[in-house]
A and B are shown apart, each in its own frame.
Chain A
């Protein structure tokens, strides 16, 4: 607020930019959020350029060198080598791409589908709500990993099927969240105001309610990213999903479990990568929660 001469933003875009900078400021106030952001940025950078710069691209492509099996971490092999003599560092770096992409795909599909179901159920209520939410509950009662395994078994293994399978077990969380948020927002005065103006359901839902529930959705997406990567890894671990030689953190960990504890490095490093991803996305999600809350924007 300035006194005499006020110059306002010229359009909604520059005003949004201002909001964004304000959010970034609040984000910076939290060290942990920054740590989360740095970890996530690092992971994305690794996923983008990693496969091109790894020291042993031939191992990523499936090449083996049995002469160098189970070498402990050294200057030559930073994370050591595995039972096929492959460089674990190269595999972990290359695996980040598939793990992150699969996690992201799971979360995005689940968020879109869940938001659709949740918004319709929450806004229209009554029997629509009953029907949709009972269906959602049904999906929730099925253990996600089992469901994913069943779908993967029915459709056959492969990344696409695995992502679809996990997303199908993932959306009920989003549906429940969005339904609750929509029901709460439906009672807000500004929604009442829109109804008093004569606005119809599509306008109220699209213009007034959904833009105001997008923040918790984004936060949940970020928080879920870690767990989605973990689930992708779990499916890799039990042998559904990505098949060797394609490197993926879960399957790397799965193959290594037989060689614990003697050749600990084959398991520790993919495990660390999974841990780092889950940790980073969770911290980022917590930070985003603070930034995106419009009430705190005063």
Chain B
């Protein structure tokens, strides 16, 4: 059984303009130990996919039309809020883009981590290494020790002292490490990272990527990483899902997808990244804009911007077809272009 399996997930979002179909049948299967990169342009639904896994999409204005999100075979969309609270922080950890806004500036980071640890310990006392009868004081002590251990684990030097520092006393990269430590304190099986390095310098980004990689290799973590940076995906991820306008248009192991992209959108994204050989003025942009999700095109949603589009593209949404083992593409021309 896969650790995480999203099946045919449809999400609609109400706003002033009407109801937009923002996730249009997402299928994603994540096995233990994999690092999935979810890439795509702003508004393609990649963050909503990540938030859906922890069920943090506010409903309303959002509404799940269909589908299931199976975590170890259990449907998260059918779970109660209490069950979800027990899962979040304990089994599923999350980190977000901006490390400055996700730490409360008025509390010491240690206290914030202890809170998370106690919450996780409440769901599963084994996290703190205590049994259920342990006293509050013992729990607090264990939680604090765990916080220090986690800070050491993510490479904060002198963790035992820094645990009593406030967020502003850490640099951006260090704060992101603190957030990763906090996300990992409940020893989750799945980490959802939404643009974890976007706000950071490249040198710090490289360190954070190394840290995530080590956590996967050494602690058996599974990661779903949401990013718009193809370089980050190529470096860190084992698998990649390319999203466009609420659909996954291409998915599979990183090497075949990057070396032999089957979807015109994936190719366009790759061509847009300047590399050593790109001549000035010859960078291939992607013309046009993402179609309105209030009135999406009838067939393939990428057809309006696709250089290869034919009449067949408007007939219906193209199904995923497998190009090579595990590598599938949703395009009528898959394998032909």
Contact = CB atoms under 8 A, between A and B. Distances in A.
Contact of B16 (A1, A2, A25): A25
B79 interface: no
A21 B15 CA distance: 12
Interface string B272-312: 00000000000000001111100101000000100000000
A207 interface: no
Contacts of B291: 3
A3 B289 contact: yes
Which of under 10, 10 to 19, 20 to 34, or 35 or more describes the interface residues of B? Answer: 10 to 19
Contacts of B61: 29
Nearest to B293: A1
B289 A26 contact: no
A67 B16 CA distance: 60
Interface in B299-329: 304
Nearest to A22: B16
B307 to A, nearest CB: 16
Interface string A18-47: 000110011001000000000000000000
Nearest to B305: A3
A26 B60 CA distance: 13
Contacts of B288: 3
A interface: dominant SS = loop
Contacts of A3: 288-289, 291-292, 297, 304
Interface in A1-26: 1-4, 21-22, 25-26
Contacts of B289: 1, 3
B interface: dominant SS = loop
Interface residues of A, number: 9
B43 to A, nearest CB: 9
Which interface residue of B15, B16, B288, B304 has the most chain A CB atoms within 10 A?
B16
A261 B61 CA distance: 49
A22 B15 CA distance: 9
A26 B16 contact: yes
Interface string B201-243: 0000000000000000000000000000000000000000000
A1 B61 CA distance: 19
Nearest to A29: B61
A21 B16 contact: yes
Contacts of B295: 2
A29 B16 CA distance: 10
A25 B15 CA distance: 8
Contacts of B297: 3
Contacts of B292: 1-3
A21 B288 CA distance: 28
Interface in B42-64: 61
A21 B289 CA distance: 25
A115 to B, nearest CB: 30
A4 B15 CA distance: 22
Nearest to A23: B16
A3 B303 CA distance: 12
B257 to A, nearest CB: 27
Contacts of A22: 16
Contacts of A26: 16
A5 to B, nearest CB: 12
Nearest to A2: B292
Interface in B235-266: none
A26 B61 CA distance: 11
B47 to A, nearest CB: 14
Contacts of B16: 21-22, 25-26
Which interface residue of A3, A21, A26 has the most chain B CB atoms within 10 A?
A3
A106 B16 CA distance: 36
Contacts of B290: 1
B164 to A, nearest CB: 31
Contacts of B15: 25
A3 B297 CA distance: 10
A21 B295 CA distance: 20
A200 B34 CA distance: 57
Contacts of A4: 304
A1 B291 CA distance: 8
Nearest to A4: B304
A66 to B, nearest CB: 59
A2 B291 CA distance: 7
A29 B288 CA distance: 33
Nearest to B291: A3
A1 B15 CA distance: 13
A4 B292 CA distance: 10
A51 to B, nearest CB: 40
Contacts of A2: 292, 295
Which interface residue of A1, A21, A26 has the most chain B CB atoms within 10 A?
A1
Interface string B1-39: 000000000000001100000000000000000000000
Nearest to B61: A29
A1 B16 CA distance: 13
A26 B288 CA distance: 30
B298 to A, nearest CB: 12
A177 to B, nearest CB: 22
A1 B290 CA distance: 9
A2 B288 CA distance: 11
Given A2-B295, A25-B15, A26-B16, 5 more contacts: A1-B289, A1-B290, A1-B292, A2-B292, A22-B16
User: Can you list the 5 inter-chain pairs with the closest CB atoms, starting with the nearest?
Assistant: A25-B16, A22-B16, A3-B291, A2-B292, A1-B292
18 contacts: A1-B289, A1-B290, A1-B292, A2-B292, A2-B295, A3-B288, A3-B289, A3-B291, A3-B292, A3-B297, A3-B304, A4-B304, A21-B16, A22-B16, A25-B15, A25-B16, A26-B16, A29-B61
